[in-house]
Amino acid sequence: MIDLFHKVSKECSKLVTNRYSTSFSMGIRLFEKKYRDPIYSIYGFVRFADEIVDSFHDFDKKTLLEEFRHDTFKAIEKGISLNPILHSFQKVVTEYSIDAELIHAFLDSMEMDLYNKDYNQAEYEKYIYGSAEVVGLMCLKVFTKEEKHEYARLKDSAMSLGSAFQKINFLRDIKSDFEERGRVYFPNVDFNNFSTRQKEEIEDDIKKDFNHGLEGIKDLPKGARMGVYLAYVYYTNLFKKICNCSAEKVSEKRIRVRNRRKIYLLATSSIKNSLNLI
| Pairwise CA distance, residues 138 & 159, whole Å | 10
Instruction: State the amino acid at position 158 in one-letter form.
Output: A
Dmax (CA) for the chain in angstroms is: 60
Mean pLDDT, the chain, whole residue set: 91
> pLDDT tens for residues 25-48?
888 988 999 999 999 999 999 999
What percent of the chain shows pLDDT beyond 90?
74
| Pairwise CA distance, residues 49 & 52, whole Å | 5
pLDDT band at 272 (very low <50, low <70, confident <90, very high): low
Predicted local confidence at residue 180, as pLDDT: 83
**Beta carbons within 8 Å of 205's beta carbon, 6+ residues apart:** 167
> pLDDT tens for residues 45-65?
999 999 999 899 999 999 999
pTM for this predicted structure: 0.92
> pLDDT tens for residues 146-201?
788 999 999 999 999 999 999 999 999 999 888 888 888 999 898 889 999 999 99
Question: Across residues 246-270, what is the average pLDDT?
Answer: 79
Name the burial class of residue 275, with classes exposed (0-12), middle (13-18) and buried (19+) by CB atoms within 10 angstroms of its CB. Answer: exposed
Least confident of 5-14, 67-76, 151-160, 173-182: 173-182
Predicted local confidence at residue 93, as pLDDT: 98
Would you say domain 2-274 falls under CATH 1.10.238.10? Answer: no
Greater confidence (206 vs 267) lies with 206
Query: Between the CA of residue 45 and those of 91, 186, 198, 226, 266, what are the distances in Å?
Result: 12, 26, 33, 23, 26
Predicted local confidence at residue 267, as pLDDT: 67
3-state secondary structure of 184: strand
